[in-house]
Amino acid sequence: MAARNLSDVRGRLRNRRAGLNRLIFGLALLGLLDTTHLWVQQQRQFEEGCFGVASLAPLEKAFDCASVVQSAAGTLLGVSNTIWGALFYAAVALLSALALLRPALHRHRYKLIRAGLLGVGLLYTLYLLYYQAFELATFCALCLVSAGLVLTMAGLQAYELFTFRPATMERPERIRTERLALGGLALAALLLMGADVYLNDALSPKTSTTTAAAATEAQPATQTCSFDTERPPVRYFRDLIMMNDPTAGNPDAKVVVIEYLDPNCPHCKHLHPIMKQVVESYGLQAYFVFKPIPLWQFSIPQVAALYAAAREGKFEAMLEAQFERQRSGGLTLEEILDIAEAIGMDRNELARQINEGVFNEYMQRQSRQASMIGVRGVPTVLINGHFVPGYARTVECLGQLIEQQAKGS
């Protein structure tokens, strides 16, 4: 009986079902476009929302792509889900093309492999949806698009497995036309993916971190020291302060200065000596709160090390050492531990805290909080809840704004 059922399945899968398999092929290509765009927006730190379209950003308040991709569910076996997703969609597209173009004798094998792959993909997608809904209480819009594609492809595959349609005559000229059509679609998808990546590089000077750094280097003559008038201030800014936040200055001061940063952000490194000088000059008039948040997966162990160092009063030493060694792709765990040992921390204890993810949940909370108040990138500086624009991130302007708030103006 089992052999007969298997034979029936093979018989159904040997049928070309061209329309259905073309649809699965097309959906897999859309999945590749989606994962590519997710990677691009991740590089841009989701500064204009999940989709990267400024006009849609106000409509995306229910989503927090940054928190999702930086969460524990953002990787599998140490590899980003964005990479896994791209490999998954590429494999589904390839198997679908083979099922359409190869002889009927071998067609069922490609479809069976694809069915197994889609089954695993469906289960993992359901897990990710559960994690976003019940663990993070937020969603990634682009991840939801991917979930919709996986659910649709899995449904189409199930329909093919359990329904029968009489085989039709296969003509060689149709196969040649099919090959050209599939090749054209694949080429169009590759061109769109390349354009997405290229535009990301072209627009990178406009991202929040770059513009912030450029602005801090030279204040335009037409600008005065003022807050960002296009972004509403955070009303309950003191509620942003958390127990593990590294701090400096006077905790009883009327003025609270908050900086969001990532140790792998070059422009945070540029701003750091400016902030250090402001802390030295206005330590009595203001309370300074530093909030390291990992904008990239490779920043997580470094940010964890910063919070561990803060507990021992060594935050500044750890941060400066990380900035000094800063490079693309982040530092290795061994380098982080070398820094810890050099500044007088217990190397083994820090390794344990990083490996066990002691600060992971705290980092996720920080990232969610930053997203909720409108932080679009780093460095971001707030003074009494008011966002400080890039051009005003100079020692002179920051000092002037602190004095204004201290006087109540």
Residue type, 407: K
d(CA 137, CA 130): 9
The secondary structure of 360-407 as a DSSP string is HHHHHHHHHHHHHHT--SSSEEEETTEEPPGGG-SHHHHHHHHHHHHT
pLDDT number for residue 134: 83
Can you give the pLDDT at residue 122?
Answer: 96
Structure tokens at 88: 């998954």
- Find out whether 117 and 88 touch, Cβ atoms under 8 Å: yes
Cα separation, 392 vs 227, whole angstroms: 8
Query: Which amino acid belongs to residue 130?
Result: Y
Return the percentage of the chain with pLDDT > 70, whole number: 83
> What is the bridge-based pairing of β-strands 286-292 and 255-261?
parallel
Residues 2-204: name the CATH superfamily.
VKOR domain (1.20.1440.130)
pLDDT for residue 321? 97
Cβ pair 110, 95 in contact under 8 A = yes
**pLDDT tens digit string along 11-43?**
566 676 788 999 999 999 999 999 999 988 877
Could you say which architecture CATH assigns to the domain 210-406? 3-Layer(aba) Sandwich (3.40)
In Å, how far from its chain's centre is CA 227? Answer: 28
Q: Are both 2-204 and 210-406 of the same fold?
A: no
Domain boundaries, the chain: 2-204, 210-406
Predicted TM-score (pTM) of the model is: 0.58
pLDDT by residue, tens only, the chain of 409 residues: 544 555 556 656 667 678 899 999 999 999 999 999 998 887 776 766 678 776 665 666 667 777 677 666 778 887 889 999 999 999 999 999 998 888 777 788 899 999 999 999 999 999 999 988 887 777 888 999 999 999 999 999 999 888 866 555 556 667 778 888 889 999 999 999 999 888 766 554 433 433 344 444 444 444 579 998 888 999 999 999 998 899 999 999 999 999 999 999 888 999 999 999 999 999 999 999 999 998 888 899 999 999 999 999 999 999 999 999 998 788 999 999 999 999 999 999 999 999 999 999 999 889 888 888 888 778 999 999 999 998 899 999 999 999 999 988 5
Q: Nearest Cα to 86, choosing from 34, 129, 131, 134? A: 34
Q: What is the pLDDT of residues 307-362, one digit of tens each?
A: 999 999 999 999 999 999 998 788 999 999 999 999 999 999 999 999 999 999 99
Strand locations in 98-228 (E): none
Angle, in degrees to the nearest 10, between helices 172-203 and 81-101: 160
* Predicted pLDDT of residue 340: 96
